[in-house]
Structure 1
Amino acid sequence: MKSRNWVRFFLSNLLIGGLTTGVIGFALKWSEYKVLFSEFDIMEILSILFWLFGVGLIFSVISQMGFFAYLTVHRFGLGIFRSITNWNLAQIVLIVFVLFDLVYFRHQFFASENEGISSYVIVALYILLVGLVVAYFKRTSTNKEAFIPAMFFMIVVTTIEWFPALRVNEEDWLFLMLIPIQVCNAFQLLMLPKFTNAKKS
């Protein structure tokens, strides 16, 4: 990738992270923030939006670090397992392991007494569903061999990037971080070829 295209790719992802976090932040706290809109408190709205946008930039940087780390890991994986089939099997095992951890270990650590496991299963299923959808579009836009690596990135790498919020385990922070990271990761996965192949203007 040419340096100019890489800068455009980086800045585009930063903007997406900032804007997505701003929207999600207001949506999660709408019951509190709607008063500001009804009172037309522009300064307070802008200050909150500015803070959320800044947090979103951090999420975007985390997402991009994870993406380029995965590109390196993917190359190492192909070299170690010596075939795409074996590497894909290893990635499937890791996907299952991470999804199991998201349900079982989170329930063990954070569930209150008599709390059911269903909410933890729903979160894991949501992450799986997003991973499947993004992987499908990646496969459609490239080739069928891209499906498993795309799923691995959208599930395993996203969960690793999400870990700071998982440790805190506050519902608002969980989704405030998860959704922008998923959006940034999906953008990188689907749009990288277009930036890589873009001609220098």
Structure 2
Amino acid sequence: MTSRKLVNFLFKTFMIGGITGLIISFFIKSEDYANYISPFDFIEVLGLVLFFIGLGLTFSVVSMTGFFAYLFIHRMGLNLFRSFWPTVQVLLIAFVLFDLVYFPYQATNGEVAVYWYILMAAALLAVGWIVAKRKAKETNKHAFIPALFFMVVITTVEWVPGLQVEGTDYAWLMVAPLLACNTYQLLTLHRITKSDEATQSENQKGTKAPKKQAGAKKA
């Protein structure tokens, strides 16, 4: 991957996080917007917009950090566990999904029904499953489990600060940019590397052609 493509990749991830943070704020913090829309206060509305864009940008940085950490973890897992690495990833996925239900429910002392946490974990698994299926379709079937691992386990690790805050607003404001950025990174990286490989192969063919022509002239 060239430096130009890497910068473009990171910049787009950055922008996706900011835009997603702003969009989700319209739903999660609609009351805050409503307070300054009627009567309309341009400065306050602009302040809210900039704040939530900045919040989304911050979470996009968390996502990028998690993504590059995942690339290292995946390579280390292959070297350490070898053929057992897919099984280890499945076990970690199951463990994290269980934690998403059990520990938050225990922290509320039963004040929040457990099925809400089950739905939250199921929704994360569903999104991860869809993205992983797309990744496997565009690359190969062996990419499904690593992609699901990234979307479930790594996203949950990145999401921990949002889960520790009281209330659900911050959790939603955080998870939406994380999922958007993680999805983009996961589904874009192989496309960039494929285009680089195609360019290299074309360049190699171009350098071989003059040699063949030169040989033909000597004959």
In the superposition, the TM-score normalised over structure 1's length comes to 0.92
How far 1:189 moved relative to its partner? 0.1
AA in 2 matched with 1:30: S
Amino acid at match of 1:135: A
Q: Do 2:33 and 2:48's aligned partners in 1 also have CA atoms closer than 8 Å?
A: no
Q: For the structure 1 residues 191 and 87, does the alpha-carbon distance in structure 2 shift closer, same or farther, using more than 3 Å as the test?
A: same
- Alignment partner for residue 106 of structure 2, among 100, 105, 108? 108
Contact 2:18 2:52 (C-alpha < 8 Å) held by counterparts = yes
The amino acid of 1:102's aligned partner reads L
- Identical amino acids, percent of aligned pairs: 46
Q: CA deviation at 1:162?
A: 0.3
Alpha carbons 2:101, 2:118 under 8 Å: kept: yes
Alignment of 1:16 onto 2:16: yes
In 2, Cα distance between equivalents of 1:6 and 1:189: 14
- CA distance, structure 2, for counterparts of residue 161 and residue 169 of structure 1: 17
Alpha-carbon distance in structure 1 between the residues aligned to 2:107 and 2:166: 10
Q: Which amino acid aligns with 2:85?
A: W
**One-letter code aligned to 2:168:** E
Note the C-alpha offset of 1:110: 2.3
Q: Quick check: 1:173 aligned with 2:170?
A: yes
Residue 163 (str. 1) matches residue 160 (str. 2): yes
Give deviations 1:41-60, integer Å, cap 9, x for gaps.
Answer: 33222211111111111100
1:129–1:111 Cα change, 3 Å: farther
| Structure 1 position 29, deviation (Å) | 1.4
> Which residue is 2:138 aligned to?
141
Alpha-carbon RMSD? 1.6
CA contact (8 A) 2:17 2:59 kept: yes
CA 1:76–1:109: 2 relative to 1, 3 Å: same
Deviation at 1:26, TM superposition (A): 1.7
* 2:98 paired with 1:76: no
| 8 Å Cα contact 1:2/1:196 also seen in 2 | no
1:135-154 deviations in Å (ceiling 9; x for gaps): 11111111111100000000
Pick from 115, 123, 128 the counterpart of residue 126 of structure 1.
123
Amino acid at match of 2:2: K
Structure 1 unaligned residues grouped into runs of 5+ = none
Preserved CA contact (<8 Å) 1:6 1:195? no
Q: Quote the offset at 1:198 in angstroms.
A: 4.3
Amino acid paired to 1:60: S
Deviation at 1:38, TM superposition (A): 4.7
Give CA deviations for 1:90-135 in whole Å, capped at 9, x if unaligned. 000000000000101111112444x421111111111111111111
Aligned mates of 2:143, 2:38 — CA distance in 1: 47
Higher relative contact order, structure no. (Cα contacts within 8 Å, ≥ 6 residues apart): 1
Which structure's CA Rg is the greater one?
2
More off after superposition, 187-196 vs 40-49: 40-49
Q: How many residues align?
A: 197
After superposition, give the CA deviation of every residue in 1:47-78 in whole Å (9 maximum; x if it has no partner): 11111111111100100000000000100111
Deviates more, 1:29-38 or 1:42-51: 29-38
Instruction: Give ranges in structure 2 of 5+ residues lacking alignment.
Output: 200-219
* TM-score computed with the length of structure 2 as normaliser: 0.85
Decide whether the 8 Å contact of 1:63 with 1:184 is kept in 2. yes
Partner of 2:2: 2
Matched position secondary structure for 1:82? helix
2:155 is paired with a residue of what secondary structure?
A: helix
Residue aligning to 1:96: 94
